[in-house]
Structure 1
Amino acid sequence: MPEKEKLRIDKYLWAIRIFKTRTLAAEACKAGRVKLDGNNTKPSHEVKVGERYQIAKGPERKVILVSGLLENRVDAKKAVDYYEDITPVEQTTTFKSMFHAPVLKRDRGTGRPTKRDRRETDELKDTFFDKPEEEEH
């Protein structure tokens, strides 16, 4: 793919597959979810090799380092060559740990939960999300 000298941040984030559409990338920039050195960026900001961006996409937080400019969208295997994911390990693990919460489902057709069912559900949630208490000696 040919590299350009001038490239907008919204187009770059779309091309490296951080966002599904260029419109979503532009909206993220406008909403302040794409930052360069802690400062918000506009969708028209020109990307330069070596810049570091902080991107918030839902609960996920990423820090990427631009290693090349990519004008057109390519497959994911090639897109990885144009940026370096330098997200700290602590942020990566906290995002993944969110998916280890219990999934509480009721069988279809069982109707509304009774007061007893609700109490059991609340107790299960409370015990799961509480931190283990330290023993006092």
Structure 2
Amino acid sequence: MNSAAPPDEVRLDKWLWAARFFKTRRLAVEAITGGKIQVNGQRAKPGHGIRAGTRLSIHKDTFAWDLEVLAVSNQRRPAGEAALLYREDESSVLRRQDLLRRRREAGPVDTTGERPTKRDRRQIQRFTSAD
């Protein structure tokens, strides 16, 4: 087999890592086993084979992607090349953009109800004891 030829099928965890949805394959495996990734509407295992034309649903934190696999790769490439591995549904793009817009409008999170950390206490002491 020629090593330069692209593979027909690649493991799900490896594809998610190569497409830059997760920083490591271990994080991809944890998401898959946690039910955050669906392949053609079904839960899958990390070793499930992915081919071009496969539909994926990815949930990570509060974000969600619905996409179609266009190509497979078992090698992690730059982000520009990784984006060519899939096509995201228009509704998925709009949902994510709406979520980001609402987060920006909400502003910073208020953490005044929390106790100060050791670092915060030191800064308060420096500020109040300053001459």
**Which category describes the TM-score, using the shorter chain as reference length?**
0.7 to 0.9
2:71 to 68, 72, 84: 68
- Aligned position for 1:95: 99
What are the superposed Cα offsets for residues 76-125 of structure 1, whole Å, 9 maximum, x if unpaired?
Answer: 01111111122514422342123421323669639xxxxxxxxxxxxxxx
Identity of aligned residues (%): 29
> Is 1:14 paired with 2:29?
no
Q: What letter matches 2:95 in structure 1?
A: Q
What are the superposed Cα offsets for residues 34-82 of structure 1, whole Å, 9 maximum, x if unpaired?
Answer: 0023211110100011111000010000112100011100000111111
CA–CA distance in 2 between the matches of 1:5 and 1:95?
A: 35
Could you tell me the TM-score, scaled by structure 2's length?
0.74
Q: Are the counterparts in 2 of residues 2 and 71 from structure 1 also a CA contact under 8 Å?
A: no
Q: What letter matches 1:84 in structure 2?
A: R
Question: Per-residue deviation at 1:3?
Answer: 1.3
Question: Per-residue deviation at 1:33?
Answer: 0.3
Aligned length, in residue pairs? 110
Q: What letter matches 2:106 in structure 1?
A: A
Could you tell me the TM-score, scaled by structure 1's length?
0.71
CA–CA distance in 2 between the matches of 1:100 and 1:109?
A: 30
> Is 1:56 paired with 2:71?
no
| Structure 1: runs of 5 or more not aligned | 111-137
CA–CA distance in 2 between the matches of 1:36 and 1:48?
A: 11
